[in-house]
Structure 1
Amino acid sequence: MLHVRRPARGATGVSEAGTRKPARSVRPVPRLSVGFILARHFTLNAFANFVDVLRLAADEGDRSRPIRFEWSVLSDTMSPIASSSGVVVAPSERLGDPGKFDYIVVVGGLIDEVPKLSPAYSRYLQQAAAAKVPLVGVCTGAFILHHAGLMEGYRCCVSWFRHTDFLEQFDGLQPVSDQIFIVDRDRLTCPGGASAAHLAAFLVERHLGKAAATKSLHIMMINGAEVGEAPQPSPTLDFNTSDPLVRKALLLVQQSLDAPLSVGQIARHLGITKRRLERHFENALDTSPRAAFMEMRLSLARHMVETSNKSFAKIAIECGFSDSAHFSRRFRQRFEATPSEFRKERLERRERQEVA
Structure 2
Amino acid sequence: MTTIALLIYPGFQILGLAVSTVFETANDLHGPHYHLTLLSEHGGIVPSSLGFGIQTDTFKDTHHDTLIVIGNNHIDDAPPALLDYLRSAAHQSRRITAVCTGAFVVAAAGLLQGRRATTHWAHARAFRSAYPGVQMDEDRIFVIDGNVWTSAGMTAGLDLALAIVEQDLGTAVARQVAKKLVVHHRRSGGQSQFSALLDMDPKTDRIQGALLYAREHLATDLSVDTLADVAHLSPRQFSRLFREETGQSPAKAIEHLRVEAARIMMEAGRHSLDVIARECGFGDRERMRRAFLRAFGQSPQAIKRVTETQLASFPQA
Shared topology, TM-score over 0.5?
A: yes
Matched residue SS, 1:243: helix
Where in structure 2 are the equivalents of 1:170-209 lying within 5 Å?
170-209=131-170
Please say if residues 40 and 59 of structure 2, whose CA atoms lie closer than 8 Å, have aligned partners that are also in contact.
yes
Q: Which residue of 2 aligns with 1:81?
A: 46
Unaligned ranges ≥5, structure 1: 1-29, 248-261, 277-356
Give the greater-gyration-radius structure (CA).
Answer: 1
In the alignment, structure 1 residue 269 sits paired with structure 2 residue 269: no
Q: Which residue of 2 aligns with 1:211?
A: 172
- State the 1:180 CA deviation: 0.4
In the alignment, structure 1 residue 165 sits paired with structure 2 residue 126: yes
Residues 228 and 244 of structure 1: CA distance in aligned 2, closer, same or farther (over 3 Å):
farther
Number of residue pairs matched by the alignment: 223
Q: Which residue of 1 aligns with 2:7?
A: 37
Please say if residues 197 and 217 of structure 1, whose CA atoms lie closer than 8 Å, have aligned partners that are also in contact.
no
Query: What is the letter of the counterpart of residue 3 of structure 2?
Result: S
- State the 1:132 CA deviation: 4.8
Q: Which residue of 2 aligns with 1:134?
A: 95
Cα RMSD, aligned residues only: 2.9
User: Aligned match of 2:60 in 71, 96, 103?
Assistant: 96
Percent identity reads 24
Please say if residues 230 and 244 of structure 1, whose CA atoms lie closer than 8 Å, have aligned partners that are also in contact.
no
Q: Distance in 2 between matches of 1:126 and 1:198?
A: 25
Please say if residues 214 and 225 of structure 1, whose CA atoms lie closer than 8 Å, have aligned partners that are also in contact.
yes
Residues 246 and 229 of structure 1: CA distance in aligned 2, closer, same or farther (over 3 Å):
closer
Give the TM-score normalised by structure 2. Answer: 0.63
Matched residue SS, 1:205: helix
Query: What is the letter of the counterpart of residue 231 of structure 1?
Result: S
Give the TM-score normalised by structure 1. Answer: 0.56
Q: Which residue of 2 aligns with 1:107?
A: 70
Residues 272 and 75 of structure 1: CA distance in aligned 2, closer, same or farther (over 3 Å):
same
Q: Distance in 2 between matches of 1:224 and 1:273?
A: 24
- State the 1:246 CA deviation: 8.8
Q: Which moved more, 1:128-137 or 1:149-158?
A: 128-137
Query: What is the letter of the counterpart of residue 11 of structure 2?
Result: H
Matched residue SS, 1:152: coil
Unaligned ranges ≥5, structure 2: 202-210, 216-256, 266-289, 304-317
Q: Distance in 2 between matches of 1:268 and 1:53?
A: 32
Q: Which residue of 2 aligns with 1:243?
A: 261
More strand by share: 2
Q: Which residue of 1 aligns with 2:106?
A: 145
Q: Which residue of 2 aligns with 1:70?
A: 35
